[in-house]
Amino acid sequence: MNMNSANIEEIVKQVLAEMTGSASQLAVSKAAAGDIPKTAHVAMLTSLENFEVKEFPIPEVGDDDVLVKVEGCGVCGTDAHEFKRDPFGLIPVALGHEGTGEIVKMGKNVKADSAGKPLAIGDKVVTCMIFKDNPDITMYDLNKQNVGGADVYGLLPDNDPNNHLKGWFADYILVKGGSTIFNVSDLDLDSRVLIEPSAVLIHAVERAKSTGILRFNSRVVVQGCGPIGLICIAVLRTMGIENIVAVDGQEMRLGFAKEMGATGTVNFKDHKGLEELTKAVEAQFDGHPADFGFQCTGAPGGHSNIYKFIRNGGGLCELGFFVNGGDATINPHFDICSKELTMVGSWVYTLRDYATTFDFLKRAKAIGIPMSKLITHRYPLEEINEALKTNLKMEGLKIAIINK
């Protein structure tokens, strides 16, 4: 007797419906008819600068859980820090938190995502943070706290012998009940890989807007044109800000800044001393200092310099120091007080920012900002060590693991 996959799927559904226990309540996709393997491959960081692709059993999917087949995951600077130095003391650990994939199995209690959007087998999803029942963080009242102190898939201890599927550098990940999850089926793969870093900049721009200084006609300087700085430019351009000057030391990155929407660029290596560099930035604004600055490098010298680019009464958003990069030297009188500078810090994002990011990516694509170009290198899972080394050598922009 010949049976196609649809026949098999219906038979499996009927059999499960007649069974008892939580497993019988699982929603089943075509994959359950034979496509979901018994084991998953996970890139486990087992020592400094050494991933091993290991094979682990796929755990049972509980009533509140979601099993996702991973399609891709971006490499973050945090992954590079962990790869090189293990600053969080997590080794052995399954890394990867900029991931996305397709739901292949889900528990009976899973009906909707963290924004209330229905979830079903086959939907494309991303995860945000795990908030551990923090009552101050909800989807629609988010300004009480940022995500400091929350957990994230890809930075979780490997302390459960029954579940090693905790990072997106894998071919499957188990999203446990109580996690945040978003249905992003209306975004292409490249856009979904860029959601997490883009949310960092959505949050930063929202913080900047809170100063009341950032407006449509503002002159804005963005210092640092790695992925974060480049996405910052794209967010500003998507908002309608058209007078943006990018500062960096690599011509390749400054070229990308123009593609993201910068109207002028300055290579700091072409100028001797801070005074000359400041004049070069002002020249890009027809002789005026910037109204607002975004400091996107993790270099203390970059923080010290950017004050000089900003006018009296201007604003600054510092977001470059996700980890401790060292102390910066400033003169509080000249840099802050006499200028009456308004400054905000920005660190990661909120759930609200994550949801807003989806619309940003759609709008950026609609107005022709080539966000996909930010993904300059794509590696299969088995070449993850090479991917991290490429990131550390700063040979590209956004590095991604894309599953076959």
What does 198-218 look like in DSSP terms, one character per residue? HHHHHHHHHHHHTTT---TT-
Calpha distance 332→345 (Å, rounded): 17
What's the token pair of residue 324? 């401790």
In this prediction the pTM is 0.88
- What pLDDT, in 10s, does the model give residues 172-202? 999 999 899 999 999 999 999 999 999 999 9
Mean pLDDT of 140-166: 79
- What pLDDT, in 10s, does the model give residues 69-82? 999 999 998 899 99
- 146 membership: H or E segment, kind and range: none
What's the token pair of residue 65? 């859980």
What is the pLDDT at residue 7?
Answer: 56
Strand order in the sheet with 39-47: 50-57, 39-47, 93-94
Residue written as token pair 């945090």:
78
**Contact assessment for residue 388 and residue 45, using Cβ atoms and an 8 Å cutoff:** no
Can you list the positions of beta strands (E) in 6-158? 27-28, 39-47, 50-57, 66-75, 93-94, 98-106, 124-127, 129-130, 151-152
Q: Between 300 and 144, whose confidence is greater?
A: 300
Query: Residue 404: which pLDDT band, with cuts at 50, 70 and 90?
Result: confident
What's the token pair of residue 296? 């996107």
What is the pLDDT at residue 88?
Answer: 87
Specify burial of residue 4 (Cβ count, 10 A radius: 0-12, 13-18, 19+).
exposed
**Looking at the DSSP assignment, which residues form a beta bridge with residue 265?**
246
CB atoms within 10 A of CB 79: 27
What is the pLDDT at residue 106?
Answer: 97
What's the token pair of residue 148? 């400091």
Q: What percent of the chain has pLDDT over 90?
A: 78
Residue written as token pair 């930010």:
374
- The SS3 call for residue 363 is helix
- What pLDDT, in 10s, does the model give residues 2-45? 445 455 555 445 544 444 344 434 555 444 435 899 999 999 99
Torsion of CA 345, 348, 353, 359, to 10 degrees: 110
**Contact assessment for residue 197 and residue 191, using Cβ atoms and an 8 Å cutoff:** no
Residue 140, pLDDT above cutoff 90: no
Mean pLDDT of 91-117: 96
Residue 106: HSE in the Cβ half-sphere, 13 Å Cα cutoff: 22
**Contact assessment for residue 266 and residue 282, using Cβ atoms and an 8 Å cutoff:** no
**Contact assessment for residue 256 and residue 396, using Cβ atoms and an 8 Å cutoff:** no
Residue 101, pLDDT above cutoff 80: yes
Q: What percent of the chain has pLDDT over 70?
A: 87
What is the pLDDT at residue 16?
Answer: 45
What is the pLDDT at residue 113?
Answer: 94
Three-state secondary structure along 276-307?
HHHHHHHHHCCCCCEEEEEECCCCHHHHHHHH
Query: Residue 123: which pLDDT band, with cuts at 50, 70 and 90?
Result: very high
Query: Residue 124: which pLDDT band, with cuts at 50, 70 and 90?
Result: very high
Specify burial of residue 322 (Cβ count, 10 A radius: 0-12, 13-18, 19+).
middle
Calpha distance 341→398 (Å, rounded): 33
What is the pLDDT at residue 126?
Answer: 98
Calpha distance 294→296 (Å, rounded): 6
Calpha distance 204→360 (Å, rounded): 14
Mean pLDDT of 293-308: 96
Mean pLDDT of 257-277: 97
- What pLDDT, in 10s, does the model give residues 354-369? 889 999 999 999 999 9
Q: What is the mean pLDDT of the chain?
A: 90
Lowest mean pLDDT among 137-141, 281-285, 324-328, 330-334: 137-141
Mean pLDDT of 46-74: 97
Residue 11, by phi and psi: left (phi above 0), alpha (psi -120 to 50) or beta? alpha
What's the token pair of residue 190? 């490249």
Residue 393, pLDDT above cutoff 50: yes
Q: Which amino acid type is present at position 175?
A: V
Residue 325, pLDDT above cutoff 90: no
Q: Between 255 and 134, whose confidence is greater?
A: 255
